[in-house]
Structure 1
C-alpha cells in the first residue's frame, strides 16, 4: 500500500513538472506549437513516423505559427525556437552570426576526435580556424581543377549502365533500375576519388569496401542510435556518455585508408588536384600550433565529406530523375539543351568541358528546382552563445523576449521551400521558378538548400558540379520514364538525417543517345 502511494505521488509530481516545464512558452506569451506530454514536439520523429525534415516542416506549418516570425517548440526537454520570418533568419545566420556561431548538437570533444573536428560539428573556435584553412580550396578555381576526376567517374557511370543494359538483354534497349543505388555508387566513387585519392570502384563492384562503409555508417544500431540521440537532444551529456559520431569499424577504416594514401602520395609526389594534395600541402605549410597537426584532423574532414557528400548528392540526383520521369516535357527540353551543347564547340568526344557544363542555363534551373523541392539539409540549427542572451523584442508579438544562452533555434528549410507565400503552387516541380526573370524576384533567405552565412556549406560548388555531371552522363544516353514500381508520390526515409527517398525509387531507362 505504501509502495502504491509513493508511486502515485511520483507520477503526480512528474505530471505536474511536465505541465510546468512544457508551459514555458505560454507563460512568456510566445506563440507555440502544442506538444505531447514529456516529449514535446518531436513525438512523430521519435516514433519513426517521419524524418527530421518533415517534423520541422509540420511545426513550421502548424496553425499557431501562421503569420508569426517565430514559434516556440520543445525538442524533448529543450526549450527552442523555430524561426519563420526571412528577415529574422538573416539576422541569426548572417548579421548576428557571432551570437549564433555554433550548432546545438555536440559530440565528445575529447574522446571523439574524428566527430568533433569536422566542419559541421566543430564548435566556433575550432570551426573558425578550419574554415579559414579550407575555404580557398573549395573556391571556383580549385573546383575547376577537380572536374577531370569527376569526368572520369562520369564515364565509368556510362560504362556501368551499358553493362546493366547488356545484362538485361531486352531487345527494345530498356532497363529498370533502383535509382538511389545507382546514384550512390556514382557519388561514392567521386568522394573516394576526391577525398582519398583512391579508386573505390563501386560502379564496377557494388559491394566494394567503400560502398559497404557508406552503408555501415548509417546502420541504425542501438549503440549508434543512443550516441546520436544524446548528441542531438542531450548534447551536454555527450562527454559523460563518450559519444561517437561514427562506429568503431568506420573510424578504423577511415584512419587506415587516410594514413595509407597520404604516405603513398607523399612518397610518389603525384599531383591529382584532390583533397589529399591539399592535406599534404597544409602539413608542410601550417605552423606547429595549427589545428592541422592535431590527431585525426585530416581523417575527420575526409570521413565527414564521405558521409555527407555521397548521401546528399546521390539523393539529389535521385529526386531529379524522379521528377524528370514524371515531367516528360521538362526532360525533353533539358535533353535538347544537352544535345545542342554536345554538338557545339565546347564538346569533344561526347564530353562537355567545364565552362560549357557550368553555363547550361536550363540544367541549372532544373537542379535549383530539385533543391527547392527536396533540400538535402531540410533543417538548420544554431545555438545562442551570447553571454547576455539575445534580444528578440523587435520580433516579439507583444511581450519582450530575451533568448537565454544555450537556447537552440531551428530553421525549417523544407518549410520555407514549400511555403506558398514565397513559392506559388509549392509542390509543383517547375524549373521556370529559376529563370533569370523569376530569380531576381525571389525574397532573400527563402531559398537555403546549402544554408547561409559563414556556416553555410563550404562545398556548394563541388556538390552542384557533382550533381550536374551525374545527370549529364545519364541523360545524354537515356530517357527516363516511370514504371509500374514507381511511387506516385515521393516519400522520405524516416531514419535518414538528410532528406532521402524511402524504399526504392524505380525508373525505366530507355536507351536514346543524343
Structure 2
C-alpha cells in the first residue's frame, strides 16, 4: 500500500513538473522572445521574497539580456502569461492610440463584496470607470486646483510652524530631520484638508488618528499582502478569498469620517472649495433621479476619498523626500532653486501665489527630474479587452488573446540610457525648454498616459511644489553622517518609496525677511 501511494505521489509530482515546464514555455512555443522564468513564481520570484519592490522587479525584467533589442518580451507574473512592453511607440499604441483594446487594468477588486475598493478610478472596470471619470475629470482642472491652493498654503504654513519648533543646535542653527516622516505628516494634512474638509493635525500631533490610519493602510501584514497580491496578480480569485483593498478598521474609519463631514457640511452650509463640496453637489444633483448612477451606489463617495488618501499622501511624500535628498547632495542645484524662490518671494512680498508657483521654471525642472529618477508609479499595467485579441506585432501578425495583461516598466523607461544619457545622474537640465523638445515621446510616464492616466496630476504636482517651497524658503538642506550614500527602495511598498529613514540636516537660512 505504501509503495502504491509513493508511486502515485511521484507520478503526480512528475505530471505537475511537466505541466509547469510546458506552461512556462508559452511564449517560446508561439515564437516570441521570453525571459526565462522560475517554476511556480514565474518572473517575480525576487518580489515574492521581498528582495526588491514592484518597480525594481519590472525594471530588472526590462533590462534583462533576453529582452535586449525587442519591442516587447514575454514574461510570467506568477502563473499569468503576460507581455512587457519596451518600445515607446508600442506603448503609445496600447495606452493612447488603441486605448479601446486595453480599456481596463489587469488588477481587479471584488465588485460585489468590496464596494469601497472597486468604486474608485484606479480599480474600476471600464464601464464604471467611464462614468466616474466623466464626473471627476472637470473637478481636477486648473480652475479647481487654483481654488484649492489656499488650503494647501494653510497646511504649508503649519509645516513652517512645525519645523520652527524643532530642537535646533544653537551653535550651528541646524537640526537633523528624518525627511520621509516629515513629508508624510505634511501630505497627510493636505489630503485630509482637500478630501475630507477637516484638520488632521498630523504635523501638530504625529499620533493623531488620521496619521495612524495612513500608517495602518500601508502596514504589510500577511492578510493584507495576500489580498493585494490576489488583487494585482490573481484577480480571478478575489471573490474566492473575499479580497479587500482595505482593512476593516480603515473602512470603518473612512465611512464614519466621510458621513460625518458630509452631514455637518450640509447642515451648516459652509463652503471650502474642497472635494466634500463636490460630493454634496453631486448628491443633490442625483437625489430623486430615476436613472441608475454610480453616484447612488453604496460607498461611492467614501471610495473616492479613501483611495485619494491612499494614493495621494504616499506618492507626494515620497517625491518630496527624494527631491530634498537630491538637493542636499547637489548644493549648486539647490542654490539655483533657492535663488529662483527668493525672486518669487520678493515679488510676492513673502508668499507665492498659484500662478507664480506654476510658472517657476527651475522648480518645475527639478520636480520633473525627480519624477524621472524616482517615479512613484514605477510600473503600469493594462488588460487586453478586445474580443478578438490584439495584433501586438504587425510583422508576425501575432494577436495576444483577450484577457492577457501587458506591463510597462516606468522605472525601466526612465533609466534607459537610450532615452536618458547617464540615467542615474540627477540633472534637472534634461527638462529645460530646449531639451524637452528632443525627448523621445512616451519615454517619460510619471503619471501614465492616455485616458487612464492619473487624473490628479495637477493637484499632485502642486502639493509637491508647495511642500518644497515652504521648506526651502526657510532652510538649506545638507547631507549628514546619517544620510545614505545611495537611495534604496522599500521592498514591501507598492509605490516607489525610500527604504528606512532618510536623514538630512536642515540649516536655518531664511530667504525672505519681513521689513
Tell me the TM-score normalized by structure 1.
Answer: 0.97
1:159 deviation in Å? 0.3
Q: Measure, in 2, the Cα distance between the counterparts of 1:355 and 1:121.
A: 33
Name the counterpart of 2:196: 196
**Pairwise CA RMSD:** 0.9
CA distance in 2, matches of 1:333, 1:137: 34
- The structural deviation recorded for 1:221 is 1.5
Q: Which residue number corresponds to residue 270 of structure 1?
A: 270
Q: 2:125 aligns with which of 123, 135, 141?
A: 123
- CA deviation after TM superposition for structure 1 residue 304, in Å: 0.2
Shift of 1:6: 1.6
Q: Which residue of 2 aligns with 1:410?
A: 407
Report Cα offsets for 1:278-308 as digits up to 9, x if no partner: 0001111134522111100000000000000
Q: Is 1:375 matched up with 2:375?
A: yes
Name the structure 2 match of 1:220: 220
Is 1:422 the counterpart of 2:427 in the alignment? no
**Partner of residue 85, structure 1:** 87
Q: Which runs of 5+ in 1 are unaligned?
A: none
Equivalent residue for 2:326?
323
Cross-structure match for 2:235: 235
1:151 aligns with 2:148: no
In the alignment, which residue of structure 1 is the partner of 2:109?
A: 107
Residue aligned with 2:165, SS: helix
2:471 to 448, 470, 474: 474
Q: Which residue number in structure 2 is paired with residue 437 of structure 1?
A: 434
SS of the equivalent of 2:338 reads: helix
Q: CA deviation at 1:169?
A: 4.4
For 1:175, what is the secondary structure of its paired residue?
A: strand
Runs of 4+ that moved beyond 4 A: none
Between the aligned partners of 2:212 and 2:509, the Cα distance in structure 1 is: 32
Question: Given the two structures, how large is their TM-score scaled by the length of structure 2?
Answer: 0.97
Q: How many residues align?
A: 506
How far apart, in 1, do the equivalents of 2:42 and 2:397 lie? 24
Can you list the C-alpha shifts for 1:29-73, whole angstroms capped at 9, x where unaligned?
A: 111111111211000000000000000000000111112110000
**Distance (Å, rounded) in 1 between the aligned partners of 2:53 and 2:443:** 21
Q: Distance in 2 between matches of 1:86 and 1:405?
A: 22
Residue number among 13, 24, 27 corresponding to 2:26 in the alignment: 24
How many angstroms does 1:392 deviate by? Answer: 1.8
Indicate the SS of the match to 1:301: helix
Query: 1:291-338: per-residue Cα shift (whole Å, max 9, x none)?
Result: 111100000000000000000000000000000000000000000000
Partner of 2:351: 351
What SS does structure 2 have at the residue aligned with 1:12? helix
- 5 Å-filtered alignment, 1:477-488, equals 477-488=474-485
The yes-or-no answer on 1:465 pairing with 2:488 is no
CA drift of 1:385 comes to 0.8
Q: Secondary structure at the match of 1:351?
A: coil
1:65 matched residue in structure 2: 67
Aligned equivalent of 2:98? 96
* 1:362-384 deviations in Å (ceiling 9; x for gaps): 00000000000000100000000
CA distance in 2, matches of 1:478, 1:356: 20
Report the secondary structure of 1:79's partner residue: strand
Confirm or deny that 1:492 pairs with 2:489.
yes
SS of structure 2 residue aligned to 1:136: helix
Q: Deviations over 1:230-253 (max 9, x none)?
A: 111110111121110000000000
